[in-house]
A and B are shown apart, each in its own frame.
Chain A
Amino acid sequence: MSELAAVDAPTVADFARTFRRIQAEIHKVIIGHGQAVEEMLSALFAGGHVLIEGVPGTGKTTLVKTLGLAMNLSFNRIQFTVDLMPADITGTRVILTAEDGRREFTFQPGPVFCHILLGDEINRATPKTQSALLEAMAELQVTVAGVTHRLAPPYFVMATLNPIEMEGTYPLPEAQLDRFLFKVRLNYPDETELTRIITSTTGPEEAGVEAAFHADEAPARVEALKKLVRDVIAAPEMEHYAARIVRATQPQNSRYVADEARSVHDEMVNRYVMFGSSPRGAQALILGAKVRALLDGRANIAREDIDRVAIPALAHRIMLNYAAHSDGIDATHIVERVLKSVRAART
């Protein structure tokens, strides 16, 4: 495990400038998906992982690749299939013969050992294999044969989901879903974006991505920026606000989240939500809001920042019941409704 290079402490302006530069480099290749790219970068600097959901051909894999290139970080890709085994992800011990003829078990790192990991179509692997990512995502380490191996920071997992090919898939368990900071949706590009995609991808020249960092200092720069995000000040009111939103997504709490005078009353949550957001949702709200605050040149978060990241931070943590599916209600509707209720209760 290499030590991080010493870099100067970034400022708020440095953060915003770096963020915008990486964003611009990605958009040299990725046409459209501006919000998805911003949310993905926000999750990266907030120290979280991203679940990308989109129909085939919308540039999920290309997006992740481009991100790795733009940040000059090591990048691996795992194509999840039904026969993929956990050891294929984490690595395994193999018998190697030394020069002196001795044979010994040596740990062979899997693709999880990198800075940016793309788990393509993660829902095609079995839950056992999917769970192999849990420890790496949560604790930045993997344990193989009783030996724990640390992952080099920064570590960023981006998993893609194909929402239409559900046959032969294994929906991600809630525990694993909860470990993704954001869930980003990639929608179909509009006509203008599609025209630009055609122009840029069918021509003789391919768009080149210029790395924002030097390779030797890229991890340290990213970690410094991540630390800066953590330093953003969150006033107690903002933390209460985030907590109130999260509690409002929970059916048993949606009726009286605040005090009785400012209760959040939302029948929609009680009717359609089976399980609300976990406390990780509140953490995601605050961390995402901190990134938004830095991008705005502030050292404090505001309610607007929390509202802005509420859907990517909470939607995938809310488990809907059959009534919601039959009525065509998705988690985004629930989050929007909860935000509206909490805002109304606040005023």
Chain B
Amino acid sequence: MHPRENARPRDEKLWQILGLIGRLRSRLNWLAFQHAFFYATAALMVAGALIYLSAFVLAPIKFIAVTVTLSTLATFAFIAALRQGWLMRSNARCAAILADERAGLKGRLATIVTVAEHRKKGPMWSYLVEDTLSRQAEFAPARIQKRRVSRAIYAFIASLIVAGLAWPLSRIRHVSPIPASQGQDDLTLDLNDLHLRPAEPGDDNAMTVQADPETMRRLEDKLAREGVEPGQGASNSLGKLMNQARNMAGNLQDKLTGQRQSHQRLNLKLADAADPLAGRVNQSPLDAQNQKRRDAAGQFQRDQTNDGNGPLPRGTLHNNGGDEQEQAAGRSDLANQQQGANDPNATTKPLDDRGDQQNGEQGSSGGASHGIGVDPDSLFGSATQSKLGNEGFEIAIEARPMEHGAKGAGHAYEPPKVRTPLAAVQEPDEPVVRTEVPPDDRTTIKRVFER
């Protein structure tokens, strides 16, 4: 018999054994892949679900801390799962060793795999192959590794459950203790009555003020007048960093929750009072007066872009649009003032002066604060060109009552003061109208300031 013919059956038996080992190896590698995939996915899903939940229930700073922590843990878990799966991968030799151990073959398969690749076969090779093949039922892949699905699927299923529960849990947690008030669209607030202060770093009860540049500039002017520098709360680098982190966390929370409620945000909108007045030529004198007074005080209007979920405290904020009774009272009060309001110049002049005051402050050439501690040479600016009171604020506010006081304040949140309707005998406080200083008096005034 030709040696090749003699060797062929032996080789076929060898390939039969190696084929079984190869199938076992494939099964082991598939389990290793599942292990890595399931655990890695489970880690990411659980972390994502927890971050999603925390976006609803945690304050921004805590949220960002939890997010960073969970993200780090998830990253480590992800890498560990991949690494473990990679280490669990099996080659033919590992599969043979495993089969030897589980089938009690005492190294037969490992020897075959190793010697078949590297070694010159000895005279007992054929005996080893045949002896091993006679035990093929003992190391069938299905017997050595019965599982087709990794146990890691339990972790994957658990993570799916967690992720599935995240949405209803977030809905439960998101129910506000006070339902959003409906129909409260316009709030009339006096800018001067607003108590504004910069938020302390980490103060989760602060409001984020968003407005157009002009409105923001006026707010900064107001803060300046009150002796508070914008961003004073974040005077150091840590505070700025905290603010940035909080802003980032708030934005992330907004994206995750799909709602703008992580902060109580005050959206200010600067409204030009002239156009509404122009459009209200046919308005009743009462409405016109009301509008003027509203402009004079500054109107805070709810931002229609907000979802309105934020509850508004009844009784603390004046509701022009919703509270008919209060509005009617305002009409009756204003009706008593109608006589004084008939003259458009009489009513608009103070308003124009107010607007001019803002302009004067902007140019540092006059206004209410003009001349305070400044160079006597720049004491005198030009006379007010525009009339006061022709523009006011329309501020859309979304606010909720605070459950606890501001950080470190020791008292409950103080809502903005509400402009109540004036009595018939009352007149709104108006700033002094700045007029041109006569040239003869300038020398005297300048001398007083120089002194």
B122:A235 contact, CB within 8 angstroms: no
Q: In the assembled complex, which residues on chain B have CB atoms less than 8 Å from the CB atom of A297?
A: 131
Whether the Cβ atoms of B119 and A236 lie closer than 8 Å is yes
Contact A300 B118 (CB under 8 A): no
B124 close to A (CB within 8 Å): yes
27 contacts across the A-B interface (CB closer than 8 A) = A12-B127, A231-B122, A231-B123, A231-B124, A232-B124, A233-B115, A233-B124, A233-B125, A233-B128, A235-B107, A235-B110, A237-B114, A238-B107, A293-B106, A296-B106, A297-B131, A298-B106, A298-B128, A299-B124, A299-B131, A300-B108, A300-B128, A301-B107, A301-B111, A302-B100, A302-B106, A302-B107
Interface residues in B63-120 by Cβ distance below 8 A to A read: 100, 106-108, 110-111, 114-115, 118-119
| Residue A304 interfacial (CB < 8 Å) | yes
The answer to whether A300 and B111 have CB atoms under 8 Å apart is: yes
Say yes or no: A299-B128 contact (C-beta < 8 A), given A233-B115, A236-B114: yes
Q: Are A303 and B124 in contact (CB under 8 A)?
A: no
> What chain A residues lie within 8 Å of B111 (beta carbons)?
233, 235, 238, 300-301
CB distance from A207 to the nearest CB of B (A): 35
**Chain A hits for B119, CB < 8 A:** 233, 235-236
CB < 8 Å neighbour of A299 from B100, B110, B114, B127:
B127
Chain B: minimal CB distance from A9 (Å): 9
Min CB gap A331→B, angstroms: 27
Minimum CB–CB distance for B122 against chain A, Å: 5
- B interface, by DSSP: helix, strand, loop or mixed? helix
How many Å lie between the Cα of A11 and that of B126 in the bound state?
12
Q: Which residues of B contact A302 (CB under 8 A)?
A: 100, 106-107
The minimal Cβ–Cβ distance linking A14 to chain B, given in whole angstroms, is 12
Which residues in chain A, 219-246, are within 8 Å of chain B measured between CB atoms? 231-233, 235-238
Binding site for B on A (CB under 8 A): 11-12, 231-233, 235-238, 293, 296-305
Nearest CB of chain B from residue A237's CB, rounded to whole Å:
6
The CA-CA distance from A3 to B125 in the complex, in Å, is 29
Complex Cα distance, B158 from A223, in Å, reads 66
Closest 10 pairs between A and B when the two form their complex, measured CB to CB: A302-B107, A300-B111, A299-B124, A302-B106, A299-B128, A235-B111, A235-B114, A299-B127, A231-B124, A231-B123
Contact assessment for A304 and B106 in the assembled complex, using a CB-CB cutoff below 8 Å: yes
- Chain B: minimal CB distance from A339 (Å): 17
B301 to chain A, nearest CB (A): 70
When the two chains form their complex, are residues B127 and A236 in contact, meaning their CB atoms are under 8 A apart? Answer: no
Enumerate chain A residues within 8 angstroms of B123, measured Cβ to Cβ: 231
B115 cross-chain contacts in A, Cβ below 8 A? 233, 235
Contact of B110 among A231, A237, A293 (CB under 8 A): A237
* Complex: A304 Cα to B123 Cα, angstroms: 23
How far is the CB of A343 from the nearest CB of chain B, in Å? 13
**Inter-chain pairs besides A233-B124, A235-B115, A236-B118, 6 sampled, C-beta below 8 Å:** A12-B127, A233-B111, A233-B128, A238-B111, A298-B107, A298-B128
Closest chain B residue to A304 by CB distance? B106
**Which of A233, A238, A304 is within 8 Å of B122, CB to CB?**
A233
Whole-angstrom distance from the CB of A10 to the nearest CB of chain B? Answer: 12
User: B93's closest neighbor in chain A, by CB?
Assistant: A237
Which B residues lie within 8 Å of A298 (CB)?
106-108, 128, 131
Contacts of B107 in A (CB 8 A): 235, 238, 298, 300-303
- Chain B residue at smallest Cβ distance from A303: B107
Q: Which chain B residues border A301 with CB–CB below 8 Å?
A: 107, 111
How far is the CB of B411 from the nearest CB of chain A, in Å? 63
- Chain A residues with Cβ below 8 Å from B131 are 297-299
A303 → chain B, closest Cβ, in Å? 7
Looking at the assembled complex, report how far the CB atom of B134 sits from the nearest CB atom of chain A, in whole angstroms. Answer: 11
Residues in A neighbouring B110, C-beta threshold 8 A = 235, 237
With a 10 A CB-CB cut-off, give which of A11, A296, A299, A304 has the most chain B CB atoms.
Answer: A299
Contact residues in A for B122 (Cβ distance below 8 Å): 231, 233
B101 to chain A, nearest CB (A): 10
> Which residues of chain B have C-beta atoms less than 8 A from A231's C-beta?
122-124
**Contacts of A296 on B, CB cut-off 8 Å?**
106
Query: A106 → chain B, closest Cβ, in Å?
Result: 43
Chain A residue, CB-CB nearest to B100: A302
